Structure 1
Amino acid sequence: MRAPAGLEAGSRLVLASHNKGKLAEFSALLGGFGITVISASELGLPEPDETATTFTGNAELKALAAAKASGLPALADDSGLCVSALGGAPGIYSARWAGPDKDFDGAMRRIEEGIGSDERDAWFVCVLCLAFPDGSIRSFEGRIDGVIAPAPRGAAGHGYDPIFIPAGETRTFAEMSDDEKNAISHRARAFAAFRAACLP
């Protein structure tokens, strides 16, 4: 399928997510480009089942569903924490590990229980997909490597941020300001590639 054209200043863009943390992050990242961001929840769009087996597949599924339902360009991401000692888990199942109640404290304990003190290598992956109502899509991947902290630290961020220390840092994502995290995160890296290709 052909690659979609980029977005123009003044465009309306649906963010295909019901996650308030992601909405805040993307609103900050998209600031200054003249793009009006509308969340899927504002439009009452359902969340499609994430049935793909890769980050890219799930991002494309969500973006296409939102673009076709809204008649507007849509941006979706699929992201997750991958832990080497767990064979890359939770990976695409990162949100599901937290369960329907979004119990990330429990999910972080599950990770800690499954790894050894010397097996703490981990990485975050984010794939962004821009889709248009005609079905055209383009995807961009970002990754940041790091380690699992000995215990959760920090109150900022969301999800697994309290247990992830990016390479070259001593602080977890949850101990960083939004600006500090957004400068280096997996989502910021995917967004940089998206911005270069698709934004005015």
Structure 2
Amino acid sequence: MQTLLFATNNQHKVEEIQNVLPAHYHVITLRNAGIDIEIEEPYDTLEENAHKKAHTIFEMTRKNCFSEDTGLEVDSLEGAPGVKSARYAGIERDYKKNNEKLLQELANKNDRTARFRTVFCLIMDNHVHYFEGICEGTIALAPKGIQGFGYDPIFIPKGSNHSFAEMNIAEKNKFSHRKKAIDKMVAFLESLQHGKS
């Protein structure tokens, strides 16, 4: 069993990741590790914010760890909300308000294409590695579904007629940006185990 310290206290993300990791990986959150801090995300790129979180925890614990940062990029809004996705409608990170603001911004837009982009930062034996996952899709006209979190009720992945919030985790993982990044990270970790890198 290999333990990975995940620099987050977002239980939704933990559940998604634990659901797709092979059984011999065990994810520990900051709370599980007895770490109660809020790590700022001050940068303009997902990569920098992910590194900030992982590096902060690595410096505290000296344990191999990983973090992620995810943004919803809407083409007609020039990539917004992007790196500001979690706090789009205010610092309180209110999912419902974020969705409402985005739908208002798109009220008079014909182009509703968008993508979720996630970047994982893994610090392993003092080396930094990045893994990216992208899911293309469109923004719905109104929220649909009660599953998931964040922008899931208004994001419809390419290849489906349902929003992420209308899917269970297994269905979502057929499209998920987060799963794509995790798969890349797992492939890297497995290659280390087998001496291929």
TM-score by length of 2: 0.90
Contact 1:123–1:143 (Cα < 8 Å) also in 2: yes
State the partner residue of 1:120. 112
Q: Using the alignment, how far apart are the partners of 2:174 and 2:57 within structure 1? A: 28
> Which residue pairs with 1:74 in the alignment?
65
Match of 1:7 in 2: none
* Within-5 A mapping of 1:1-200: 10-32=1-23, 34-42=24-32, 43-115=34-106, 116-132=108-124, 135-199=126-190, 200=193
In the aligned structure 2, how far is the partner of 1:66 from the partner of 1:169?
Answer: 37
What is the percentage of aligned positions where both structures have the same residue?
Answer: 36
Greater shift in the superposed pair: 39-48 or 16-25: 39-48
CA contact (8 A) 2:18 2:26 kept: no
1:183 deviation in Å? 2.3
Give how far 1:127 is off: 0.5
Bigger RCO of structures 1 and 2 (CA < 8 A, at least 6 apart)? 1
1:102-123 CA distance string (max 9 Å, x none): 3211111111111135121110
**Count of matched residue pairs:** 189
Does the Cα contact within 8 Å between 2:87 and 2:94 map onto a contact in 1?
no
CA distance in 2, matches of 1:185, 1:98: 24
Residue segments in structure 2 that go unaligned for 5+ positions in a row: none
TM-score (norm 1): 0.88
RMSD between aligned residues: 1.5
- The alpha-carbon deviation at position 146 of structure 1 amounts to 0.6
DSSP-derived class of the 1:184 partner: coil
* Superposed CA offset, 1:85-131 (max 9, x none): 11111101111115344321111111111113512111000101111
Kept after mapping to 2: 8 A contact 1:14/1:67: no
Is the Cα contact below 8 Å between 1:162 and 1:173 reproduced in 2?
yes
Q: Is residue 85–residue 120 contact of structure 1 (8 Å, CA) maintained in 2?
A: yes
Query: After TM superposition, what 4+ stretches of structure 1 lie above 2 angstroms from structure 2?
Result: 98-102
